[in-house]
C-alpha cells in the first residue's frame, strides 16, 4: 500500500489522527501499513501518555486522593473521550470534574468531582491576568451612602465555590498539602476561596454568605444588593466582618463608585 502518493495531506492526517486512538483493526486502510509497524506504538503511547501526564499534573489533589493507578485509569477514559483542544496543556481538563461526576467507578466518592473543580480553580487562579488587590483600607473614607451603590468586582484570580453536601474544601486542602486529615473529618457544608494576593495562590474557607456575596459582586450588583444576597443565605451573617475577611484575602480588585448616583 502506498501512502502519500495520490493521497492528500489532509486525508493522511485524518487517517493518522484517527488511528492514534483507534483499535489497529479500525484504522483507515490508507494508513494500515503504518499502524502495522511496531513503531506506530511510539506515537500512540506518546500522545496518550502526554495527555494523562498533563491531567495528573493538573489534578494533584484528586491524584493523591484516589492514588496514581486509579487516577491514570480514569484519566485514560477521559482522554479517550476528550482530547486537548489547546497546546497549553495546563488548560487541559476543563471538563474533567464534570466527567468524574458521571464516572461510575467514582460513585463511592461523591465529593471527587468537586475536589477536581478546586484543582482546576487553582490552575485558573495561578494563570489569571494580573490586577491590583483592593485592601481593607480601600473602603476607608468613602461615604457610606456612596459605598452602598458601589461595586466591588472580584479579583481576576479569585475563585470560590459553595459545597453544600460535604467538606470538599478540607478534603482538597489536606490532599493539596499532602497532609493527613487529623482525626475524624466533621461532615458539613463548606465554601472555598482561592486568591492570588502576591504571586502565590492562597486558599481559605469561607461561609455560604460570603460565597453568595461574591456571586453578586461578580454579577455587577451594588454592595447593598450583594449584602442582601449574603443575608439571604445566612440571616446571622456579619457583613462588615465578612467584607473585611474577603478584602484581606485579596478577593476584590477595586472599588467602582458610580459617578451618577440615583437620588
Partner 1 sequence: MISTLTAGLGLKPQHYDEALACPAAGLWFEVHPENYLVEGGPRLRWLDAIRERHPISLHGVALSLAADTTPDREHLRRLRQLADRIEPVLLSEHLAWSTWRGAYHPDLLPFPRTNEALARIVGNVDAAQAALGRRIAIENPSHYLRLQGHEWDEIPFLDELVRRTGCGLLLDVNNVHVSATNLGFDAAAYTDAFPGAAVMEIHLAGHSRDPALGDALLVDSHDAPVSEPVWALYERLVARIGPRPTLIERDDRLPPFEQLLAERERAHHALVPALAEAA
Q: Which is nearer to partner 1, 89 or 218 (CB)?
A: 89
Q: Which of the residues 102 through 121 are near partner 1 (CB under 8 A)?
A: none
Q: State which H helix or E strand residue 160 sits in.
A: strand 159-163
Is 86 an interacting residue with respect to partner 1 (CB under 8 A)? yes
Is 199 an interacting residue with respect to partner 1 (CB under 8 A)? yes
Between the two ends of the chain, the Cα-to-Cα distance in Å is 81
Reading the block at residue 145, the C-alpha cell is: 451612602
**Region of 70-78, 81-89, 143-151, 223-231 interacting with partner 1 (CB under 8 A):** 81-89
Identified binder of partner 1 from the candidate list 23, 25, 29, 37, rule CB under 8 A? 37
Distance CA 171, CA 169 (A): 5
CB of 118 to partner 1, least distance (A): 17
DSSP code at position 28: -
Distance CA 169, CA 160 (A): 10
Q: Which is nearer to partner 1, 87 or 145 (CB)?
A: 87
Contact assessment for residue 17 and residue 1, using Cβ atoms and an 8 Å cutoff: no
| DSSP helix/strand/coil, 233 | helix
Residues that bind partner 1 (CB under 8 A): 1-5, 7-10, 12-14, 16-17, 20, 33-34, 37-40, 42-43, 46-47, 50-51, 54, 83-90, 125-131, 156-157, 196, 199-200
Amino acid at each position: 500500500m502506498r501512502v502519500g502518493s495520490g493521497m492528500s495531506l489532509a486525508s493522511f492526517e485524518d487517517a493518522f489522527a484517527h488511528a492514534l486512538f483507534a483499535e489497529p483493526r479500525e484504522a483507515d486502510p490508507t494508513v494500515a501499513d503504518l499502524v502495522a509497524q511496531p513503531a506506530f506504538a511510539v506515537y500512540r503511547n506518546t500522545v496518550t501518555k502526554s495527555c494523562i501526564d498533563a491531567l495528573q499534573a493538573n489534578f494533584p489533589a484528586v491524584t493523591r486522593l484516589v492514588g496514581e493507578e486509579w487516577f491514570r485509569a480514569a484519566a485514560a477514559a477521559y482522554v479517550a473521550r476528550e482530547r486537548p483542544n489547546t497546546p497549553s496543556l495546563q488548560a487541559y481538563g476543563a471538563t474533567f470534574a464534570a466527567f468524574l461526576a458521571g464516572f461510575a467507578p467514582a460513585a463511592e466518592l461523591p465529593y471527587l468531582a468537586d475536589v477536581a473543580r478546586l484543582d482546576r480553580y487553582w490552575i485558573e487562579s495561578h494563570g489569571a491576568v494580573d490586577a491590583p488587590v483592593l485592601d481593607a483600607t480601600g473602603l476607608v473614607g468613602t461615604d457610606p451612602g456612596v459605598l452602598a451603590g458601589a461595586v466591588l468586582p472580584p479579583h481576576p484570580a479569585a475563585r470560590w465555590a459553595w459545597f453544600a453536601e460535604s467538606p470538599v474544601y478540607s478534603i482538597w486542602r489536606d490532599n493539596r498539602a499532602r497532609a493527613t486529615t487529623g482525626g475524624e473529618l466533621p461532615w458539613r457544608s463548606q465554601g472555598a476561596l482561592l486568591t492570588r494576593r502576591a504571586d502565590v495562590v492562597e486558599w481559605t474557607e469561607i461561609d455560604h454568605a460570603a460565597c453568595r456575596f461574591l456571586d453578586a459582586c461578580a454579577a455587577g450588583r451594588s454592595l447593598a444588593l450583594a449584602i442582601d444576597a449574603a443575608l439571604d443565605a445566612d440571616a446571622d451573617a456579619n457583613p462588615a466582618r465578612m467584607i473585611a475577611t474577603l478584602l484581606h484575602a485579596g478577593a476584590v480588585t477595586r472599588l467602582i463608585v458610580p459617578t451618577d448616583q440615583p437620588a
